Amino acid sequence: MNVTLQVWRQAGPSAPGGMVRYEANDISPDASFLEMLDVVNERLMAAGEVPIAFDHDCREGICGSCSLMINGVAHGPNKGTATCQLHMRSFADGREISVEPWRSRAFPILRDLVVSREAFDRIIAAGGYISAPTGSAIDGNATLIAKDEVDTAMDAAQCIGCGACVAACPNGSASLFTAAKITHLGLLPQGQPERGLRARRMVEQMDIEGFGGCTLYGECQEACPKLISIDTITRMNRDYLRAAVAPVRAVVSESD
């Protein structure tokens, strides 16, 4: 099959960028979207041109590296899949396809379609963990967790941190990402001691990074390759607001 690509090309973080047209001919309909880009790149290199830079790693939807805005939709037209799981048969032959990087101030473009998602790392570093003493592993069955809670925690834990939620959000909000982490850890018994502090710190960091607020458009859950629900955002809000009004432990000696 043949498609026409309009690809965002940008030589470096501060270089000016623009859309460039490429004809991708004789592409197998069974090729993944990234394999199609590989073919285009091989031809570019053979012609002595600079190949299109794009992020990828596992190519099976589990690492969260791939990140393309395809025809204005994060990860392309199919629901619940990452760009690496999208196949060319999803497009009509002869179709024009626009390919752009995620657009967010917090995700600066490094080159072409590659953006830095370090802002997500900093949100995780602010509280997306459980502090536990290391040492010999404890018996896995020692802590029982209700099935419902495990399932909801696991649904949220599916987040691969790709950033599609930010890319698809009209507000450029990272609420779904942050909320997925807060939900995942906040539902497990090991996550309880730091639950309030975690929500506060992660939400604060999300704001510091310059992401937008949440207006509950719902675009993020539609774009999410792991179909994470905006119910997680409700949980994040609950944990954050509770922590914000919870009494602080203070040691005071009230004088008369």
Partner 1 sequence: MNRVQALWKSSVGKKAVMAVSGLLLVAYLVTHVLANLLVFQGPEKINLYSRLLHGTGGALWVARLALLAAVVVHIVAAVQLTRRSQVARPVGYAGGRRPQVSTLASRSIRWGGVLILVFIVYHVLHFTVGIVHTSFVEGDPYHNVVAGFANLLVVAFYELALVAVGLHLYHGLWSSGRSLGVSQPSPRPLRRQLAVALSLIVWAGFTVIPLAVYAGVIR
Query: Interface residues with partner 1 (CB under 8 A)?
Result: 6, 8, 18-19, 69, 71-73, 98, 100, 103-106, 168, 170-173, 203-204, 206-207, 210-219, 222-223, 229-231, 233-242, 244-245
In angstroms, how far is the first alpha carbon of the chain from the final one? 85
* 30/4 Cα distance (integer angstroms): 17
Nearer to ligand FES, 78 or 237 (CB): 78
Per-residue DSSP letter, 32: B
Q: How many CB atoms lie within 10 A of CB 9?
A: 16
Q: Which does 118 bind (CB under 5 to 8 A by kind): ligand FES, partner 1, none?
A: none
Whether the Cβ atoms of residue 128 and residue 28 lie closer than 8 Å to each other: no
* 255/226 Cα distance (integer angstroms): 56
Does residue 56 bind ligand FES (CB under 6 A)? yes
* 192/112 Cα distance (integer angstroms): 42
Binding test (CB under 6 A) with ligand FES, winner from 61, 128, 161, 172: 61
Binding mask 137-166 for ligand FES (x = CB under 6 A): -----------------------x------
Whether the Cβ atoms of residue 202 and residue 143 lie closer than 8 Å to each other: no
Nearer to ligand FES, 61 or 128 (CB): 61
Whether the Cβ atoms of residue 67 and residue 113 lie closer than 8 Å to each other: yes
Binding test (CB under 6 A) with ligand FES, winner from 31, 44, 51, 59: 59
Q: Which does 155 bind (CB under 5 to 8 A by kind): partner 1, ligand FES, none?
A: none
Q: Least separation, in Å, of the C-beta of 87 and ligand FES?
A: 13
Q: Least separation, in Å, of the C-beta of 7 and partner 1?
A: 10
Binding test (CB under 6 A) with ligand FES, winner from 37, 82, 88, 199: 82
Q: Which does 231 bind (CB under 5 to 8 A by kind): ligand FES, partner 1, none?
A: partner 1
What pairs with residue 32 in β-bridges? 87
Nearer to partner 1, 11 or 58 (CB): 11
CA atoms within 13 A on the CB side of 192: 5
Q: Least separation, in Å, of the C-beta of 61 and ligand FES?
A: 5
Q: Which does 61 bind (CB under 5 to 8 A by kind): partner 1, ligand FES, none?
A: ligand FES
Q: How far is CA 218 from CA 9, 128, 195, 213, 231, in A?
A: 30, 23, 25, 13, 10
3-state secondary structure of 199: helix
Which residues of this chain interact with ligand FES, rule CB under 6 A?
Answer: 56-59, 61-66, 82-84, 160
